[in-house]
Every structure is written in structure tokens, then in C-alpha cells.
Chains A and B, each alone.
Chain A
Amino acid sequence: MVFNSYTFIVFFIIILILHNLPFTWRMKKINLLLASYIFYAAWNPPFIILLWISTLIDYFVGIKLHQETVKAKRKAWLFISIAGNLGLLGFFKYGNFLLENFTLLCQSVGLDYHPAKMDIILPVGISFYTFQRCLTVWICTSVRVFQKDHCLTSPCL
């Protein structure tokens, strides 16, 4: 959904109206969360699954970080979040690059390895939302001001 399209104008007006209706703050956050998902899915619906995976990981990691008091365990949760997010980014951005190098490595030691070619499309904005999430979880870990509700606003692009 590009910003100078009719679709965006209509979408933005609807969201603006919804946001200014007398809903509760929680309802407004849910509206924004759904709007973010619709905005992202409007490019290519299947890729919304990536955003959901990322959201779910960080939502539950966020809750755990809020509840956990042992420093080592908090670091472990942080690691899980960062590994999950960067893992997705790494697969989509560097999957082919790594596979090609691994294939070359195999061939250099005499292994006849021919993996199936991966036709990977780079999801729009994956770097942006990955690093945004990493930053959010990092803040949750280091500042300890995290509240469960904050998770609802984090996926908004």
C-alpha cells in the first residue's frame, strides 16, 4: 500500500475516524494493531504470518521479562527473542547467500551437493520491524518498565 494511492487515502481516513471515536484506550490499541496487520497484508497476505510469529514471540517474551526476576533467565528470554527475530531476517536476507557458500564449501571438499534452489521473496520492511522489535525487547530487559499492554502497540509500522 503506497502512500500516494487511493487505497491508502481511504484506509487512512477509516483508521483516523476509528481512532477518534470514543472507544477505550485498549480498544484503540487493538484497532491500531489490526490496522497494522491489514496495512502489511495488503502487499502480500501470506507474509503477515511472519509478522504474527514475530509479534507472538515478543508478546510472550515481554510477559516473561516482566515476571522474571533472575538476571540470567531474563537474558535467556532476551536471547530467544533476538534469535527468533534475527533468524527470520537472516533467512530471508541471507538464506540464498549462505546456501550458495555452503554448497561451494561442500563441493570444495569433494561432496556432490546440489540443494533445491530457494525462490525467496524479501518481505517488505522486514529489517525495519525486526530491529524495532529487538529494540523494544531490549528496552523491556534493561529498563524494566515493561507492561503487558505495551505489546499491543509494538507491531504498528
Chain B
Amino acid sequence: MPTANLTKAALLMLCIVVVSLISWEYMWRHKGYDRGFNDDVGLWRKNRLKVYQPQNEATVFIGSSRIKFDLDIPTWEKTTGEKAVQLALHGSNPRPALVDLGNDENFKGKLVIDITEGLFFGPRPEIEMNQRVQYGQEASPAQKAGDQISFALEHQFTFLQKDLFSLNAMLTDLRIPNRKGVRGDIIFPPKFSYVTFDRQEILTDTFVKDSAMLRWQTDIWTMFGALSDEPGAGGDTLQKILEEVKTAVAKIIARGGKVIFVRTPSSGGYWAHEPIQYPREKYYDQLLRATGCKGIHFQDYPDMANFICPEWSHLTKEDAVEYTQALIKALQQQNWFSNPRK
């Protein structure tokens, strides 16, 4: 084929691609979606690289989803003048991240560990967090470059959010009924949350204001065992978990680092049953004793004790601001910000 025809074909293709992408982007923005970031291994690794900042410049957070929603990073950074490095991951056990930081000889910073007992002491496989830890250590130059390109594009385009607009996500959203006797994947409510570039997760206003969606989400928590009174891990399993945590924490403290545990608020069905499944004395308090660390339990602080999580587990955007201020106050009481270099 002559070159001139190929050039015309290429230009036509380029025009079609550009017009299609602009239309696709415009449609989703018109429907009320805004830009957000894929909370993938690349975004986690970007934050993992920030843990080496001096103690008077940053605090690292690990945990499950609650601290991701409940810590309002702009409020934290404005109030404390320090960076918040968010390494928590929803639906996952943070122990692999703790072990990773414990084994990292260069990490000598401040670490806040959020405890969601059902995950921290639970039997759930740790695949997701392990994947991130592994990627943090072994990402290839091509993957690192790809992450940088992804970040630049995700800053501009809404439709790149995989959980919302990938083909799989959109097929799932069709909600085709399963055959009788077949149980499909759990489908989370659309517009549940979005993720910022520093990995804070925020419940959307659309979700919080829609009682049907809130009910949909609490039904999912119920399916996950939120209303169960079955006791959590005990005996040797619990002792092994405590020993693993104790070892990792001791390594960090031995290098001059600081560690504190935090129990973020839950309410409704979760808070009605969590103390039965995971009695504080047996789990949270024993964890503090085993590690010799301080803890900030929301129940112990009047300005944290009365938050209502709309779907039992996470705070709204507005409450996250208040909780963060209360958390900073509680940390100040524990001399968290008293580094002599500051």
C-alpha cells in the first residue's frame, strides 16, 4: 500500500481514538464520577518508598480499610506539618506489611498500626498485602516506568479507574442473575468510594446519602460475618500471631523507631459483635502487653467514642476530619510528635 494512504489511515484512526476517548471521559464525568486512582500495587509501592523520611517529617500508617477512610490526610498534614504515608489496604491483614517494615534495616520512622481484629487476628489469606510487599521489593524498571505513566494518566482521566470502568467491572455491574443454586461474586455498591493519590479512601456523598446502598453494604458485611459471635483465633494460633507482631515491632523500636496501635471506630452491627468475637482483654490489650507499645482505642477517648459509621465500618469524609483531629490530640498526649529534631 502506498505510504500516503497509510498516513491517511493512521490519521483517521488517531481521530477516531481521540474522539472516542473524549466522549467516553465526558460521559462518565457527566454522570457524576470524578477522577480517582487505582489502589494497585504501583500506588502502594509509591508510598512504600516514602517510609524512610525522618521521624519529625512523617508517620507511616498500616492497617486494613478503616484507617484508610478514617485518616484525613490533608487534615493530618495541615495540623501536624508532617506527611502521612498510607500503607493500609482494604480487606487485608496488615501483618505482612509490619514484618516487611520490621525487616527493613533502613526503616527507623514512626509507625501507626490500625487494628481491625477480624482481619488482624483472622484466618484470611494474606495474598493482597503479600503481593504489594513483594512488588515493593521486586518491581522491574519497566513496571516502575509504567506506574509513573499510569499516575500521570490517572490524574487526568476518570475512566481509567479499574474498579469502576474496566470491562470486568462493567460486566459485573450488569448484575445478571445467577443460575439457581449458583453463588456469584459479591458485588459492592457502585460509587462506594474513591481513592486519592496519597491513598486515602473516601466514601462518596452519593453512597452515604442513599439508604438502599447503605443497606446493600451492611448486607455484605453480614455475609462476611459481621453479625457472627463465633470466637476469633485463640491458643497457639493467637500466640504465633502475637509472637510475629512482637518480633517485628521490637526490631523497629531497636532501630530507634516508634510504634503505636490504634483501634479506629466501628458501629452498628460490627460494634455489636466485634467485642464478642474479639474481646478487648484477650486481643487488643494482650497485643499491647506483648509488644510493650501504647494504644489508642476509640472507646477510651470521648471525642472518638461517638462516631457513627454509616455502613458500620468506615467514617464519612466529614467525620474523618474530626477523627483525625482527635487522633492527633491523642498522639500528642503520647508524645508522638516530641522528636527533639522537630
In the complex, are the beta carbons of A42 and B150 less than 8 A apart? no
In the complex, are the beta carbons of A42 and B140 less than 8 A apart? yes
* B234 close to chain A: CB less than 8 A: no
Which partner residue on chain B sits nearest A44 by CB separation? B140
* A5 close to chain B: CB less than 8 A: yes
* A142 close to chain B: CB less than 8 A: no
* B149 close to chain A: CB less than 8 A: yes
Most buried by B among A2, A7, A44: A7
Which partner residue on chain B sits nearest A45 by CB separation? B141
CA A44 – CA B143 in complex, angstroms?
11
Which A98-122 residues have C-beta < 8 A from chain B?
A: none
In the complex, are the beta carbons of B140 and A43 less than 8 A apart? yes
In the complex, are the beta carbons of B142 and A42 less than 8 A apart? yes
* A86 close to chain B: CB less than 8 A: no
Q: Could you tell me how many residues of chain A have their Cβ less than 8 Å away from some Cβ of chain B?
A: 12
What residues of A have a CB within 8 angstroms of the CB of B149 in the complex? Answer: 6-7, 10
Which B133-158 residues have C-beta < 8 A from chain A?
A: 140-143, 145-146, 149-150, 153
Which partner residue on chain B sits nearest A39 by CB separation? B142
CA A43 – CA B140 in complex, angstroms?
5
Per-residue interface assignment for chain A, residues 77 to 88, with 1 indicating a CB less than 8 Å from any chain B CB and 0 otherwise: 000000000000
What residues of B have a CB within 8 angstroms of the CB of A2 in the complex? Answer: 142
Which partner residue on chain B sits nearest A8 by CB separation? B142
CA A41 – CA B142 in complex, angstroms?
9
In the complex, are the beta carbons of A6 and B141 less than 8 A apart? no
What residues of B have a CB within 8 angstroms of the CB of A10 in the complex? Answer: 145, 149
CA A44 – CA B142 in complex, angstroms?
9
What residues of A have a CB within 8 angstroms of the CB of B145 in the complex? Answer: 6-7, 10, 42
Per-residue interface assignment for chain B, residues 108 to 129, with 1 indicating a CB less than 8 Å from any chain A CB and 0 otherwise: 0000000000000000000000
* A126 close to chain B: CB less than 8 A: no
In the complex, are the beta carbons of A5 and B140 less than 8 A apart? no
CA A6 – CA B147 in complex, angstroms?
8
What residues of A have a CB within 8 angstroms of the CB of B140 in the complex? Answer: 42-44
CA A7 – CA B149 in complex, angstroms?
7
CA A5 – CA B146 in complex, angstroms?
7
* A1 close to chain B: CB less than 8 A: yes
CA A154 – CA B210 in complex, angstroms?
63
What residues of A have a CB within 8 angstroms of the CB of B153 in the complex? Answer: 6
Cβ of B143 to closest chain A Cβ, rounded Å: 8
CA A45 – CA B138 in complex, angstroms?
12
Within 8 Å by CB of B146, from A6, A43, A44, lies A6
Which partner residue on chain B sits nearest A124 by CB separation? B140
Cβ of A105 to closest chain B Cβ, rounded Å: 35
CA A42 – CA B141 in complex, angstroms?
5
CA A5 – CA B153 in complex, angstroms?
13
What residues of B have a CB within 8 angstroms of the CB of A42 in the complex? Answer: 140-142, 145
Which partner residue on chain B sits nearest A1 by CB separation? B142
CA A6 – CA B146 in complex, angstroms?
5
What residues of B have a CB within 8 angstroms of the CB of A43 in the complex? Answer: 140-142
Which partner residue on chain A sits nearest B150 by CB separation? A6
CA A94 – CA B141 in complex, angstroms?
27
Which partner residue on chain B sits nearest A2 by CB separation? B142
Cβ of B6 to closest chain A Cβ, rounded Å: 12
What residues of B have a CB within 8 angstroms of the CB of A1 in the complex? Answer: 142
Sorted nearest first, the 5 A-B pairs with minimum C-beta distance are A42-B142, A6-B149, A1-B142, A7-B146, A7-B145
Q: Could you show 28 A-B contacts with beta carbons less than 8 Å apart?
A: A1-B142, A2-B142, A5-B142, A5-B143, A5-B146, A6-B145, A6-B146, A6-B149, A6-B150, A6-B153, A7-B142, A7-B143, A7-B145, A7-B146, A7-B149, A8-B142, A10-B145, A10-B149, A41-B141, A42-B140, A42-B141, A42-B142, A42-B145, A43-B140, A43-B141, A43-B142, A44-B140, A45-B141
User: CB within 8 Å of B: which residues of A?
Assistant: 1-2, 5-8, 10, 41-45
